[in-house]
Chain A
């Protein structure tokens, strides 16, 4: 718990510093003006979301391989946090786009693949939440593993196709890049949102573990109070 409080305090501090850097330290962009400052938390949240989807992918791979429930819980926890992040991206993107492009949305490769990513993880979490039967976690894990294919497609979409979405500012080739004075604001936001995402995944995973422990204890208590019902259930009588 102490570790979580320390990490929480660090995350809050980073978020405050990142907000200050985005709004007051970063220089004003020449063509878009102040509205461009959305970029700092829009891009940072997108990166944090992609990081959590990668954790979800690894957790589900481990679940399929080792069949330990802890990996299933980690998969669900990281997918939920990633979904919150991609929701932020899909909302802040159009708010930024409207005054700059004159439209809220366009079906270009980056926006479309990001929307598909959102729908993939909504489907995964719905499957995990409402699916019935012992095979549900395995089916959901396989779905999440294949669904992760969209993450590198989202990342590469602005490199592979001509899009309305701005070209990459990091790792985009010789003619791309970010003004060096804008970098501290972007890097602080990246650090803040990644730290926050990691903290929330950890917290959500702890909640899932505590819930499972409570369920096990309740089942054991019910069995101790009425041993016959447990025996009948174990023999397939419900």
Chain B
């Protein structure tokens, strides 16, 4: 496999993965604060 193809595929998942992780952390934060209130 050419190096550029592998780099492009990894870059795709680094960007998507970073964004999904960001949303996941925000959700965890909301869930945690609502459970603390309850």
Contacts and interface: CB of A to CB of B under 8 A. Distances in A.
Partners in one complex: yes
A198 interface: no
B5 A35 contact: yes
Contact of A200 (B8, B23, B34): B23
Interface stretch (A58-66, A106-114, A122-130, A201-209): A201-209
Contacts of A84: 15-16, 19
A84 B8 CA distance: 14
Interface in B1-36: 1-2, 4-5, 7-9, 11-12, 15-16, 19-20, 23, 26-27, 30-31, 33-34
Contacts, number: 70
B4 A99 contact: yes
Given A41-B12, A80-B19, A88-B11, A214 B27 contact: no
A46 B15 CA distance: 14
Nearest to A204: B23
A134 B16 CA distance: 32
Contacts of B7: 95
Contact of B27 (A45, A96, A210): A210
A214 B38 CA distance: 11
Most A CB contacts (10 A, CB to CB) among B12, B19, B31 go to B12
Contacts of B20: 200
A88 to B, nearest CB: 5
A203 B30 CA distance: 13
B27 to A, nearest CB: 5
A210 B16 contact: no
A96 B8 contact: yes
Contact of B12 (A88, A200, A210): A88
A35 B2 contact: yes
Most A CB contacts (10 A, CB to CB) among B2, B16, B34 go to B16
A95 B27 contact: no
Contacts of B2: 33-35, 99
Interface of B: 1-2, 4-5, 7-9, 11-12, 15-16, 19-20, 23, 26-27, 30-31, 33-34, 37
